[in-house]
Amino acid sequence: MKTKNSIIAIAKETIVTESDAIANLLNFIDDSFENSVKFIHNSKGRVIVTGIGKSAIIANKIVATLNSTGTPAIFMHAADAIHGDLGNVQKDDVLICISNSGNTPEIKVLVPLIKNYGNKIIALTGNPDSFLGKEADFILNSHVEKEACPNNLAPTSSTTAQLVLGDALAICLLNLNDFSSRDFAKYHPGGSLGKKLYLRVSDLVEKNEKPMVYPNSSVKDVIIEISEKRLGATAVIENNKIVGIITDGDIRRMLNKTDNFSKLTASDIMSKNPKTININAMAVDTLETMEAHNISQILVHDKDIYVGVVHIHDLIKEGIF
């Protein structure tokens, strides 16, 4: 049985081995890599990524990354390709074939068929001198000195290297395509990631009540307004413009200071010049402002006209926080 220290040592050795393998990829980013990127960028078709075994799993991830960063791609399993899935391949498509050895039986059958179709092949392989390497039009060299597996058998360093080269390819294409955060949001509309890129303050404030009192409002009216609107605060407005804010905390501090508040008004207990945000601002910017000033609510304005309140709970509910 492995001791705790030996387990930690093995884990660290695995990480070091794989990180060394990734660092060594810098030596393989050459003209062939550049030409591969340029060819895909100028192609009118899609990128079809294929492989078998662990390489097929990596191929799926590369496809997902390409699609999410603006380069249309599909996955085609190398074994299924020779049993009907070659029908996926269209005239202008570019094939990326992933195989560490470059000599698997499925690849040896598939590559000549692709070449007969007239499509260009990019080999992502650890063995440029292999069948795949020699038959391909471009080579992405993913060679690693050794696997992290102590028997040098289980695909570990090699699949990590494949994945990293796939990421490098995708990010180069992203830059060539001038793929912006707006484009990214278009492909990622769901979940917190997409919401950070498209959700605006206007989407949040319209769902909330609009608590407000006036400078001469009584403390009782202030407490009722905060309680009824359930946002933990109310704006103090004059001529439709924000002149202050009163929070639950302000009410508590007032009660600690005085026993007789019957003659106090909103202007006596409000915080002047409160933090505000424009209705067209991004929700994520709202979060940054609230975190920077350690506040739970922020007042929203539209051309200096008060329109409502956004609470930290609104951001939590949307998955922004």
pLDDT digits (tens, 9 = 90+) for 171-228: 999 999 998 776 776 676 666 666 776 789 999 999 899 999 999 999 999 999 999 9
Q: For residues 192 and 114, give the distance between their C-alpha atoms in angstroms, rounded to a whole number.
A: 40
Say if residues 177 and 41 touch (Cβ distance below 8 Å): yes
**Residue 180 identity (one-letter amino acid):** S
Distance CA 179, CA 173 (A): 9
The token duo for 83 is 């049993």
> How far apart, in whole angstroms, are the C-alpha atoms of residue 18 and residue 24?
10
- Kindly state the average pLDDT of the residues 27-40: 97
Residue 177 sits at φ, ψ, to 5 deg, of: -85, 0
Beta bridge partner(s), residue 277: 300
Residue 4 has pLDDT above 90, yes or no: no
Contact in structure between 124 and 132 (CB atoms under 8 Å): no
* Amino acid code (one letter) for 289: T
- How does the average pLDDT of the chain come out, rounded? 92
Nearest to 179 by CA among 51, 32, 71, 306: 71
pLDDT for 189: 64
Residues contacting residue 46 through CB under 8 Å, at least 6 positions apart? 72, 73, 74, 90, 93, 94
- The confidence band for 307, taking pLDDT boundaries of 50, 70 and 90, is very high
pLDDT of residue 188: 67
According to DSSP, residue 218 is labeled B
- What pLDDT does residue 27 have? 96
Cβ within 8 Å of residue 92, ≥6 positions away: 43, 44, 45
Helices (H), 25-148: 31-42, 54-68, 78-81, 105-117, 131-135
Question: Among 247, 287, 252, 294, which Cα is nearest to 271's?
Answer: 247
State which of 230-239, 260-269, 309-318 shows the largest mean pLDDT.
230-239
% the chain with pLDDT above 90: 79
The helix or strand, by DSSP H or E, that contains position 122, with its residue range, turns out to be strand 121-125
Contact 310, 298 (CB under 8 A): yes
| Residue 176, burial from CB neighbour count under 10 angstroms (0-12, 13-18, 19+) | middle
CA distances from 297 to 215, 246, 307 (A): 19, 10, 14
Measured CA to CA, the distance from residue 175 to residue 178 in angstroms comes to: 5
Q: Going edge to edge, which strands form the sheet with 233-238?
A: 212-213, 233-238, 241-247, 271-272
Q: Which domains does the chain have, with CATH numbers?
A: 4-179 (3.40.50.10490), 201-317 (3.10.580.10)
Determine what percent of the chain falls in helix, strand and coil, rounding each to the nearest 5: 50, 20, 30
What is the pLDDT at residue 193?
65
Predicted TM-score (pTM) of this structure = 0.69
Place of tokens 């490098």: 168
pLDDT at 257: 86
Ligand-binding site membership of 77 (annotated): yes
Q: Average the pLDDT over 78-103 and give the result.
A: 93
